[in-house]
Amino acid sequence: MTTTQPVSERRVVANVLRGSIGNLVEWYDWYVYAAFSIYFAKTFFPSGDPTAQLLSTAAVFAVGFLMRPLGGLLLGQYADKFGRRSALTLSVTVMAGGSLLIALTPGYQTIGIAAPILLLLARLLQGLSVGGEYATSATYLSEVASPGKRGFYSSFQYVTLVAGQLIALGVQIILQQFLDKAQMYDWGWRIPFVIGAAAALIVMWLRRSMDESEQFETVAAETTDGAGAATSDEPKRGSLRMLLQYPRECLLVVGLTLGGTVAFYTFTTYMQKYMKLTVGISEDTVAWINFIALLAFVVLQPVAGALSDRIGRRKLLIFFGVAGTLLTVPIMTVLGHAKNPIAAWALMMGALVIVTGYTSINAIVKAELFPTKIRALGVGLPYALTVAIFGGTAETIALSLKKAGHESVFFWYVAGCIAISLCTYLFMRETSSSSTIDDDRATAPDAGTGTGAAADAPERRLTTA
């Protein structure tokens, strides 16, 4: 009796670790493209205007972003039909293929128009992979986590997401120290993609040894016969037809995500350009401000996730919604006049503390809305659509408004998006006290409310409003 719990917890930690490392590698591969595009733009596109080359690489980046909903759909369905482990292994394999293709593709001067075509194909593969990775990773981490610690363990999804971005920047800084500019433009930019492909292959091997979640195995056994066919007339597990039985949950995912994704991309990726173009801080200083702030942001995720296990998810979301709605405009306005790098870092850090109320628990909240048979697709598709439409366009909207001379309008836009999500947070139920993760018998959109495995009862008592 005294050794059962530690062994169980060690298996949980091992599964979470293998799942999280894969998530880190996938996001590293995703961000390496943006970090090194300035170096490989002239390799894949005709020589001439450097700005036109960068715009071409940016367009390919945007197309990859638009592939994320398709990845959420296809790999979400795959995870609900064939298992989380299989889907996670497939996802990282596709990412490895995309990174290796970029690393090995000859330049425009060698193979002509085939070079940008292959770059586009590689980015499509990466977009497909990262779109499916979010849904499957969120589902897997939520299902394998110990009851009462799901907020803590699932928070590592954003830990590894941001860590992937930090490692991509770190690799860039290291290569810049050892290679001169000519070498970086000639062949040095290929190194990070080779690293990403090799790491993805290692993760593929690691993920094959992960345990499948017990929730999926239980539902798979109950909904199929020996030949794998559905045993009832209800829609097939992981199908769009089944997802349509949960319209309220899908709309909740959209409402949960809208303000969070706009705020996340505003205070992370766009913040670098804002500090440089508006605040007037040098590129090197901006890089260090962002690196240190994002590093602290990573540390905040498990802290806030663990807090949600004690006080509930909804309270953290409401904190994000209220603080984001009221403070986004003041933070961005004051930051625009902050010439001191320390003051700029403090303001960015304040914004990231607010965003942590969303990022640390958004995966577990969405996973707790859906039953096991449709969880990966339910989490992935509406989330990916919302991120592609609102998160992916945040920087473009910001730069367009700045160019038009109405930069402050963007601050109000971000605050407005957060306010819309706040309305969702105020009227939604506390998901940790009505989670379907341990209730595989939930067969209707409202089923499972207030029920679940007895093992999760302590968590539910702590989080019920």
pLDDT in tens, 198-213: 998 888 888 877 888 8
pLDDT at 173 over 80: yes
pLDDT at 226 over 70: no
Note whether residue 85 is domain-resident: yes
- The span from the CA of 133 to the CA of 28, in Å, is 13
pLDDT at 55 over 80: no
- The span from the CA of 281 to the CA of 330, in Å, is 19
Note whether residue 227 is domain-resident: no
Domain boundary among 163, 185, 206: 206
CATH number of the domain residue 335 falls in: 1.20.1250.20
Please tell me whether residues 337 and 388 are part of one structural domain: yes
Please tell me whether residues 109 and 192 are part of one structural domain: yes
Most confident of 106-115, 296-305, 371-380: 296-305
Task: Please write the tens of the pLDDT for every residue from 396-410.
Answer: 888 888 888 888 999
Look at 443 and 392; give whichever has higher pLDDT.
Answer: 392
Please tell me whether residues 133 and 59 are part of one structural domain: yes
pLDDT reported for residue 52: 61
pLDDT at 458 over 50: no
Task: Average the pLDDT over 358-373 and give the result.
Answer: 91
Contacts of residues 181-189 at CB distance under 8 Å and 24 or more positions apart, as own/partner, are 184/39, 185/39, 185/42, 185/43, 188/39, 189/36, 189/39, 189/40, 189/43
Q: With CA atoms as reference, report the closest residue to 38 among 172, 178, 167.
A: 172
- The span from the CA of 194 to the CA of 453, in Å, is 45
Q: How distant is the alpha carbon of residue 308 from its chain centre?
A: 19
Note whether residue 427 is domain-resident: yes
- The span from the CA of 122 to the CA of 61, in Å, is 10
Domain boundary among 160, 191, 206: 206
Percent of the chain with pLDDT over 90: 34
Note whether residue 88 is domain-resident: yes
Percent of the chain with pLDDT over 70: 86
Domain boundary among 183, 206, 229: 206
Mean pLDDT, the chain, rounded, equals 83
Task: Average the pLDDT over 231-249 and give the result.
Answer: 81
The model's pTM is: 0.81
pLDDT reported for residue 352: 97
Please tell me whether residues 27 and 135 are part of one structural domain: yes
* Structure tokens, 29: 């591969």
Contacts (Cβ under 8 Å, ≥6 apart) of 85: 140, 207, 208, 210, 211, 212
Please tell me whether residues 157 and 271 are part of one structural domain: no
Q: Contact, 44 vs 115, CB < 8 A?
A: yes
How far from 212 is each of 65, 121, 220, 293, CA to CA, in Å? 29, 31, 11, 35
Please tell me whether residues 256 and 320 are part of one structural domain: yes
337 by Cβ neighbours in 10 Å (0-12 / 13-18 / 19+) ranks as exposed
Note whether residue 2 is domain-resident: no
b/e burial code for range 299-312 (CB count within 10 A of at least 16 → b): ebbbebbebbbeeb
pLDDT at 151 over 80: yes
Q: With CA atoms as reference, report the closest residue to 133 among 53, 198, 203, 187.
A: 203
Please tell me whether residues 376 and 429 are part of one structural domain: yes
- The span from the CA of 105 to the CA of 115, in Å, is 7
Count structural domains, the chain.
2
- The span from the CA of 402 to the CA of 406, in Å, is 5
Please tell me whether residues 159 and 283 are part of one structural domain: no
Note whether residue 231 is domain-resident: no
pLDDT reported for residue 421: 96
Note whether residue 397 is domain-resident: yes
Contacts (Cβ under 8 Å, ≥6 apart) of 14: none
- The span from the CA of 444 to the CA of 419, in Å, is 30
Please tell me whether residues 51 and 106 are part of one structural domain: yes
Task: Please write the tens of the pLDDT for every residue from 313-360.
Answer: 999 999 999 999 999 999 999 999 888 899 999 999 999 999 999 999
CB neighbours (10 Å) of residue 92?
27
Note whether residue 135 is domain-resident: yes
Please tell me whether residues 293 and 406 are part of one structural domain: yes
**Which structural domain, as residue segments, surrounds residue 327?**
239-465
